[in-house]
Structures are given as structure tokens and as C-alpha cells.
Amino acid sequence: MVLLARGGKIKKPKIALVIAPVWDTDLPPIAPAYLTASLQKEGFNADIIDFNVRLKEKKALRKKIMEWSQYVHGYNFFLGLVFPEYLTIEENNFTREIEGLVRQWAGEILDSGYNVIGFTIYNSSALLSLLLARRIKQESEKTLIVFGGPDCARWMRGDFFIRTGFVDAVVLGEGEATIVELTDSVDGGEGFDAVPGSVINRRGEIIYGRDRPLIKDLDTIPFPTFDRLPIASYGNETIFPILTSRGCTMNCSFCNEQVYWNKYRERSPINVFNEFKYQKERHGVFHFRTNDSLINGNVKRLGKICDLIIENELEVYWGGYARTGGMTPELLAKMYEAGCRYLLYGIDSASQPVIDRMNKRTKIEDMQKVLEWTKKAGILVHTCWITGFPTERQEDFEASVKFIKENANLIDSFVVVPCRIKESIDLYNNPEDYNLVIDKVEIDVPEPLADMVKYLPTLSENWRSNEVTNEERKRRTKVLTDLARDLIGEGSYYRGMPFE
């Protein structure tokens, strides 16, 4: 189906894919680049507008936006920004600056004549996306708004977004096929059809499409297109994202990657190699960051990708998330030869009882060996740690402290995060298995919002277990962060990587 232009001439919708603040600004966003490639393949005119990177230097404002998106100041503050007609919040310089930006950006979108506006929604970008969608709808009711991305899963905020009144459709899973079918269903500007993988709001009626099967063959998806992005605006050096697989081979009790992607799928080695080559030739880029949940979900495939890079003498440098399982000195040496320069390992804890309850299916001594092998291969070692897992006793925490002290020479940088409970993960689904008590937030709002907010995830950060209280979790996070900083120094696994 198509839009009718004046005089009866038929045309396809003009689409803008928007990234609102805040999200990573160190490399171009891969999600809208994939969607743009799929839309363009089907003949649609699609552009990417990255408002997020425009606020790159406004650190204080970015921090506020992230806090408000993640309810740091409470649900009512978040809702008051989105629905000021129902909830009153106190204005300040930040809220006034945001109001001005939203007005400016909405005008820019509408002046460009876009018929369909798609937003990629992350937890930290939800607020600005909602404010932009609201403003666009106020000024142009016929303009159609689509939300998609990680925060749009039904167990996240997808069911909430579709009920706000200014979102016409929400993509509930993989977006490449769904966005094409949604856009193709537009008829005369009257709205979308509920295609598989979507939910629509048609004049107040919420209609769910059928579940969409996962894309079986990832090689059929066009390479992401970054042509219309301000490449020079991202980072001090150009780094491109690349996604070689979707999903995770593991099912850790604290993680929702398996829930979100459902099943691990991978691209063929030759398809991955061809994208490295294509992006390098098209954009002159040498450096890549893999966006995979883990780069070594299939170590044989990883080895074949490395073989292709080495055999064809393709000069590229890359790194990404990995688990220690399956790594060998030989594979790591091959990875270095193929351009791998850093790996981020999810160590999470150095206590075997905690590791077992996390369902990581690995041994502490094996992790230590892999750190040694990785360092010896010349690859930078970056580690992630989780503090305050529900079954983490004081002696378990001290085991992590001891491990960091003894292996500081093997670790180049670190990330320390407190254990968080998310809807859909095993900690949430089976709290009794972890002696876990999860508080829920009661949201008191005026009646017009009451039905809508029941679709918001309302888990409190103040969960507790027999072993860990909220305050103890915060204390352990600070202790481990301070220790790692003193021994290793601060760092980030993808900023300022020495890619030579």
C-alpha cells in the first residue's frame, strides 16, 4: 500500500529513523543503520537522524536525561515530563533546555516532510523519544510514529508506549522485516496494519499482530548502511559497529540477553568477512567493535573468520564481548593475527559458588588461565564484575577482591556494576531459589494515567536477600570499584583503544 500525493499521484512514505539522547556517541548507531538498509532495499526513502550525537558535549544535560529516563527521581517525575497536563513538576534550567530542544528537533523533522518517524528506543533514550513523539503528534496528527528497539519488548515498556496516545506502532522484536511491512501497510496516511511482530494503536484500539518468527538466515539481511550519518562526529577515531551473531549461547540467571533474542544465531564466516571488507572499502574504516552478546559463541566459526581475514591480508582491528569458555592459546594467537586487539570478559565473580548460582558454567581457575593466555597473545583484557548477587556472602565477595589483587597485572580495565533484577530473568521468575525479596513500586497517578502505567516495569532497586541488602550491595560496589581503580586505573573497553 502507498500514500496518495496531491493530484492522485502515488508515492511511498518518506521515513526518518531517529536516535534520541542518550546513547553511546563513540560509534555510529547500528540499529537504524540495519533498518535503513532493509527499507532502502525495498525502495523506500529512509534517512537516519542522530540527535543523540548532537548533544555529545552536553554532559550535565545527558546525565539528567538518563536519570529521568530510568526513574532515578521517581516515576511521577518521568510521567510529569511526558504528561504535564496530568502531573505537575517543578521546572528548572534542564527541563527548559529540553523543551527548547524538543521544539527545535520536532520542527526540523516536520519541515523535512517525513511521513513516518521511527525511534530506536533504549532504556536511557525513552524519555526524549516520547517527548519528541508527543510534540510531533501535536503539530502533525497524520505523521505516523513507530517505536522499536530493546526497550520495546513486552516485558519492558512496549505495552506502555503503545498506550501513550502518540505512538502508532511498536515493533516487538527484530525490526528489519517488520518495519518494511509496517511502512508498506500505510494507506493514505490513515495508519498501520498490525503486521506480524508489531502492536498498533488504531484510534485508541490496541491491536496485536501475530508473533514474527526469528530471521533464520542472518546472511539475508543487508549490511547496515552508515552513509547518511555524520561519521566524523563519533569519537576521536572512526570505529564502526559490526554484529556477527544474535543472541547468546548461555543463560545466566542475572541476564536477559537470552530472553530478548530467544535463540543464538550466527552469520557465516564469509558474510562477516565481506562486511568487514565492504565497510572498510566504502568508508575507509579500519577499526570495528563487535556488538555481539559474545563473540565466541561458536569458537570454530570465530577461527574461520580469523582465517579469512589473515588469508586475504585484510587490515582491520576489532574486539568485543567474550566468555572465557572455549578460548585456547592457539585461538587467541590467531585472533591477534587477524586484528583482535581487545576482549571484554564477563568474569562477574571470583567465587565458585556464586559463579555456579549465576549459571555461568565455568571454573574460576579456567578464567584465570584465559586471562593469562589473552594477555600473552597481546590482546587487551577488560573485565566486567557484578557485586551483590543475591547469594553472594561476604566470603564470596572477598574472593573477588583477592582475585583482583592477585591478577591486577593481567587486567587492563574493568567495569563494576551492582546486580540488578530485571523482569523476565531467572532471578525475577524464581526469587525463592535465591532467597530473594523483590519490592515493587506503587505508582500513584491521576485516573487518566492509571490504566497506562500498569504496563510500566515497576521493580524497585531495593531488593534484598538473606545474604545481601541494598546498602550492602552499594558498599561492595564501591569497595570493588575503588580497589580496581587503585590497582589498575580507570578505563573503558572501547574508548581510546591502542589499535596498532
Assess contact for 241 and 30: CB atoms under 8 A. Answer: yes
Assess contact for 350 and 392: CB atoms under 8 A. Answer: no
- Beta strands at 198-202 and 317-322: parallel, antiparallel or unpaired: unpaired
Contacts of 407 (CB under 8 A, 6+ apart): 368, 371
Q: How many Cα atoms are found within 13 Å in the side-chain-facing hemisphere of 373?
A: 19
- Nearest-CA neighbor of 353 among 385, 378, 390? 390
Alpha-carbon gap, residue 489 to 413, rounded angstroms: 7
Alpha-carbon gap, residue 206 to 261, rounded angstroms: 24
Q: What separation in angstroms does the CA of 440 have from each of 93, 278, 411, 445?
A: 32, 48, 38, 16
What per-residue confidence (pLDDT) applies to 52? 96
Report the predicted TM-score, pTM, of the whole model to 2 decimal places.
0.92
Tell me what percent of the chain is helix, strand and coil, each rounded to the nearest 5.
Answer: 40, 15, 40
Assess contact for 249 and 325: CB atoms under 8 A. Answer: no
Q: What is the residue extent of each domain of the chain?
A: 9-208, 236-488
Alpha-carbon gap, residue 440 to 274, rounded angstroms: 48
Q: What angle do CA 400, 404, 409 make, to 5 degrees?
A: 160
What per-residue confidence (pLDDT) applies to 189? 56
Domain 9-208 has CATH 3.40.1280.10: no
Q: List per-residue pLDDT tens for the chain, 500 residues long.
A: 444 443 333 367 899 999 999 998 999 999 999 999 999 999 998 999 999 999 999 999 998 898 888 776 778 888 999 999 999 888 888 899 999 999 999 999 999 999 999 999 998 999 999 999 999 999 999 999 999 999 998 778 899 999 999 999 999 999 999 999 999 998 655 689 999 999 999 999 999 999 999 999 999 999 999 998 999 999 778 999 999 999 999 999 999 888 888 899 999 999 999 999 999 999 999 999 999 999 999 999 999 999 999 999 999 999 999 999 999 999 999 999 999 999 999 999 999 999 999 999 999 999 999 999 999 999 999 999 999 999 999 999 999 999 999 999 999 988 899 998 888 899 999 999 999 998 878 888 998 899 898 898 876 677 889 999 989 999 999 999 899 888 876 554 333 333 33
Residue 155: all three cell numbers together? 516485558
Alpha-carbon gap, residue 364 to 375, rounded angstroms: 17
Map residue 394 onto helix, strand or coil.
Answer: helix
Residue 204: all three cell numbers together? 485508541
Its sign, for the CA torsion 339, 344, 345, 350, is positive
Cα torsion for 217, 218, 223, 225, to the nearest 10°? 120
- 188 — alpha (psi -120 to 50), left (phi > 0) or beta? left
What per-residue confidence (pLDDT) applies to 473? 93
Class of domain 236-488: alpha beta
Specify which residues 50 forms β-bridges with: 19
Query: If you write DSSP's letter for every residue of 14-52 in order, what string do you get?
Result: EEEEEE-SSS--SS--HHHHHHHHHHHHTT-EEEEEEHH
